[in-house]
């Protein structure tokens, strides 16, 4: 059986990692065995085991650290990351030789960097190196060095898959290696979820589906709740609470503010089937304060016929225009506009967006398989 290695420096399932719930079965059906190489095996392994998806997990990578601490450059963290990078270089090189991977896919920035070094200086095998880039890179970081490093990484891979044109636009290498494949979503599920639709009440339910981390906009949600002038609303939030301090701080503030204003709120953790919760909402919010490349909530809400109010960051406007999504793009940071739109919201029947068929898992896997194995 042929083998594919997937390199990722995370121990949780975020939006980027959920794509592999489609990719892995597709690889398996095409005769490929998959192995996740990560610094945390428990959460990732459990996620795919629960979904009965065959995958091996090696959790021996050393964990990288943020190069800054409290907003300042940290020499200590930088040294730790350099040591981890050197250790991981030898571990991955040894693993590639031992496992005889046909393809290795990197799924995060440090993993991209590691594989580019292997490809440039130590590629003695026929292994293909594919980077799956999910981030809109700030090319100005570290006096522009970040952008130059990104270009070098792309030039040394065999294929670079990006999740939106907004991501591709940050790459200055003129090459046909870069290909845009939009994130997939489950389709044709509305009939099976109809029984979960909430019976309409006087209250408008606002849903927020984002990982609890500062840039996903939870502080913006607090501002909306604080400034909202109507009381016939209720808020529900769901998300992976990998940043527990962010989760605890948000939950306390959100619930206290809601209690003071007499508005119902529910703060919840991770859910494996977002649709089962989203379908009970009248409106969904997307409030990312950093460029969000291709938020799944945009596709998920429109596939259910639920409007979404989204900040204009990253690839949001691109996806709205390309797929004719339901809802509205709002200027980033204009939480007062969001508050006013919520209070003036009128319920009506929206049909699920029809042109999302190109995002079906089968088409995604077909395109993904072609690009990681060819060109």
- Report the C-alpha gap between 49 and 21 in whole angstroms: 11
Check: CB of residue 28 under 8 Å from CB of residue 54: yes
**What does the block give as tokens for 330?**
């709002």
Sign of CA dihedral 14, 19, 25, 30: negative
Mean pLDDT value across the chain: 84
Which range of 54-63, 263-272, 311-320 scores highest in mean pLDDT? It is: 311-320
How many CB atoms within 10 Å of residue 96? 23
Q: Under DSSP, is residue 193 helix (H, G, I), strand (E, B) or coil?
A: helix
Distance of CA 91 to the CA centre of its chain: 27
At residue 209 the predicted structure's pLDDT band, cuts being 50, 70 and 90, is: very high
Task: Provide the percentage of residues in the chain whose pLDDT is more than 90.
Answer: 27
What is the mean pLDDT of the segment spanning 100-127?
82
Using the predicted structure, report yes or no on whether residue 229 has a pLDDT greater than 80: yes
Using the predicted structure, report yes or no on whether residue 192 has a pLDDT greater than 60: no
Q: What is the pLDDT of residue 24?
A: 82
At residue 30 the predicted structure's pLDDT band, cuts being 50, 70 and 90, is: confident
Structure pTM? 0.87
Which range of 34-48, 75-89, 298-312 scores highest in mean pLDDT? It is: 298-312
Using the predicted structure, report yes or no on whether residue 217 has a pLDDT greater than 60: yes
Q: What is the pLDDT of residue 339?
A: 93
- For the residues of 229-245, what is the DSSP string, one character each? --SSEEEEEE---SSHH
Using the predicted structure, report yes or no on whether residue 67 has a pLDDT greater than 60: yes
Q: What is the pLDDT of residue 200?
A: 63
Check: CB of residue 111 under 8 Å from CB of residue 38: no
At 267-313, the pLDDT tens digits run: 998 887 888 899 889 999 999 999 999 999 999 999 888 999 999 99
Task: List, in order of start, the domains of the chain with CATH numbers.
Answer: 2-184+360-373 (3.40.50.2000), 190-357 (3.40.50.2000)
What is the mean pLDDT of the segment spanning 109-119?
84
Using the structure block, give the residue that is written with the tokens 């649709």: 275
Q: What is the pLDDT of residue 358?
A: 83
For 198-225, give one letter per residue: b (16+ CB within 10 A) or e.
Answer: eeeeeebbbbbbbbbbebbbbbbbbbbb
At residue 353 the predicted structure's pLDDT band, cuts being 50, 70 and 90, is: low
Using the predicted structure, report yes or no on whether residue 39 has a pLDDT greater than 70: yes
């Amino acid at each position: 059986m042929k083998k594919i290695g997937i390199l990722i420096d995370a121990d949780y399932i975020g939006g980027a990692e959920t794509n592999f719930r489609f990719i892995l079965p597709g690889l398996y059906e095409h005769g490929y065995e998959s192995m996740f190489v990560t610094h945390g095996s428990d959460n990732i392994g459990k996620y795919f085991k629960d979904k009965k998806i065959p995958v091996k997990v090696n959790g021996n990578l050393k964990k990288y650290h943020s190069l800054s601490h409290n907003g300042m450059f940290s020499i200590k963290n930088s040294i730790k990351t350099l040591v981890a990078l050197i250790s991981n270089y030898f571990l991955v090189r040894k693993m590639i030789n031992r496992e005889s991977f046909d393809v290795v896919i990197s799924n995060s920035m440090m993993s991209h960097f590691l594989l580019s070094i292997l490809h440039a200086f130590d590629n003695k095998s026929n292994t293909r190196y594919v980077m799956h880039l999910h981030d809109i890179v700030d090319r100005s970081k570290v006096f522009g060095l970040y952008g130059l490093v990104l270009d070098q990484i792309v030039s040394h891979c065999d294929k670079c898959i990006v999740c939106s044109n907004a991501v591709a636009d940050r790459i200055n290498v003129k090459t046909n290696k870069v290909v845009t494949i939009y994130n997939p979503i489950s389709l044709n599920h509305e009939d099976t979820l109809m029984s979960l639709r909430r019976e309409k009440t006087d209250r408008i339910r606002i849903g927020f589906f984002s990982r609890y981390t500062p840039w996903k906009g939870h502080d913006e949600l607090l501002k909306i709740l604080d400034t909202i002038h109507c009381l016939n609303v209720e808020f529900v939030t769901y998300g992976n609470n990998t940043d527990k301090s962010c989760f605890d701080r948000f939950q306390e503030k959100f619930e206290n503010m809601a209690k003071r204003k007499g508005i119902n709120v529910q703060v919840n953790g991770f859910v494996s089937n977002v649709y089962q919760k989203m379908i009970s909402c009248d409106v969904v919010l997307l409030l990312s304060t950093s460029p969000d490349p291709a938020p799944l909530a945009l596709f998920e809400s429109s596939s259910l016929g639920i409007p979404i109010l989204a900040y204009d960051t990253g690839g949001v406007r691109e996806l709205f225009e390309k797929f004719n999504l339901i809802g509205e793009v709002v200027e980033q940071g204009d939480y007062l506009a969001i508050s006013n739109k919520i209070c003036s919201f009128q319920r009506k029947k929206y049909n699920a967006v029809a042109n999302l068929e190109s995002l079906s898992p089968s088409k995604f896997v077909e395109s993904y398989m072609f690009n990681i194995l060819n060109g």
